[in-house]
Structure 1
Amino acid sequence: MNQKTKGYTIREATKKIESYCAYQDRCHKEVNGKLKEMGMIPLAIDTIIGQLIEDRFLNEERFAKSFARGKFNIKKWGKNRIVNELKFRNISKYNITTALKEIDPQEYLNTLDTLAIKRLGQISESNIQKRRKKLADYLLYRGWESHLVYEKLQELIK
């Protein structure tokens, strides 16, 4: 644990963090953590974050929207999981609400349907109750709302 961290000037740190943010949208928490890792003091961190916001490298609303779109489209997460992950990253309630509007309601239900059918095909359990539980657990873990999950269970497993 006796590592020496390279000392950065504010200008060097800003350039490094600008490329970090340009590579992919980041939230304030991630950037703050990265700057702390670089050994920056709190005053320097505030200065750099202010500059990043001003130069549009850092934008919480843009981050929240791309995060919600990406996790839904690529990982097939439900809204509950997306909301929890955004809260973990200290994203404001307003930005979370805005981000969830990025998800088309019809596409959301279609994705749930596709995901449930695919997963049901992978469950080899013969007991109906155990099949239901396995499917419900899977969908709930991925963040789908319980009322939607239980409606889907009624529809698929009779």
Structure 2
Amino acid sequence: MVNYCVYQDRCHQEVEQKMRDFLLVPEAKEEILLYLMQENYLSEERFTRSYIRGKFYMKSWGRNKIRNHLKFKGVPEKLINRCFDEIDDDDYHKTITKLYQNYESKITGLQGYQKKSKTIKYLLSKGFEYEEIVEVIKEMKEGESE
């Protein structure tokens, strides 16, 4: 189990699932979990921070999608909210802008409002907040009019 945790940061749920695969007695599972936490092989906060950084900076996921996936892994909401400081607000804004421009430029054969609508749906599916998307669109329009 140490090797499993050393390979990459894991959440408690992943470690417990792996132990279920080994068919261990409950007492042994608790001992192993306790040992992993005491020796700092298993840290829910470290996992959460690493997961947030990876999914945002590597896969360009928004906060909503990251939050939902972490909840699915059994990470407490309070911890998720506390760890979102891993994402720089400027980087978040720049990512939305870049994704919006890239996606919209690939769409052909549609009216302007259809392109905008389709691009917004795409960004929502990536987990970005509607308010943030609208703000980026507004800024881009202001930039065009200057």
Q: TM-score, normalised by structure 1?
A: 0.83
* TM-aligned CA deviation for residue 156 of structure 1: 5.0
CA contact 2:5–2:42 (8 Å) conserved in 1: yes
Aligned pairs (5 A) from 1:1-158: 17-155=1-139
In structure 2, what is the Cα distance between the partners aligned to 1:133 and 1:47? 53
Secondary structure of 1:90's aligned partner: coil
In structure 1, what is the Cα distance between the partners aligned to 2:42 and 2:61? 24
Query: Quick one: structure 1 residues 54 and 138, their matched pair in 2 at CA, closer, same or farther if it must change by over 3 Å?
Result: same
In structure 1, what is the Cα distance between the partners aligned to 2:113 and 2:83? 36
When the two chains are superposed, the root-mean-square deviation of aligned CA atoms in Å is 1.7
Runs of at least 4 residues of structure 1 off by over 6 A? none
In structure 1, what is the Cα distance between the partners aligned to 2:110 and 2:65? 29
What is the percentage of aligned positions where both structures have the same residue?
A: 35
* TM-aligned CA deviation for residue 59 of structure 1: 0.1
* TM-aligned CA deviation for residue 99 of structure 1: 1.6
CA contact 2:55–2:61 (8 Å) conserved in 1: yes
Higher RCO structure (Cα 8 Å, ≥6 apart) = 2
In structure 2, what is the Cα distance between the partners aligned to 1:125 and 1:146? 25
* TM-aligned CA deviation for residue 72 of structure 1: 0.5
Q: TM-score, normalised by structure 2?
A: 0.89
CA deviations over 1:122-158 (Å, ceiling 9, x no partner): 1124222321221011100110001112233445579
Q: Which amino acid aligns with 2:93?
A: L
Q: How many residues align?
A: 142
Unaligned runs of 5+ in 2: none
In structure 2, what is the Cα distance between the partners aligned to 1:142 and 1:131? 17
Q: Which amino acid aligns with 1:49?
A: L
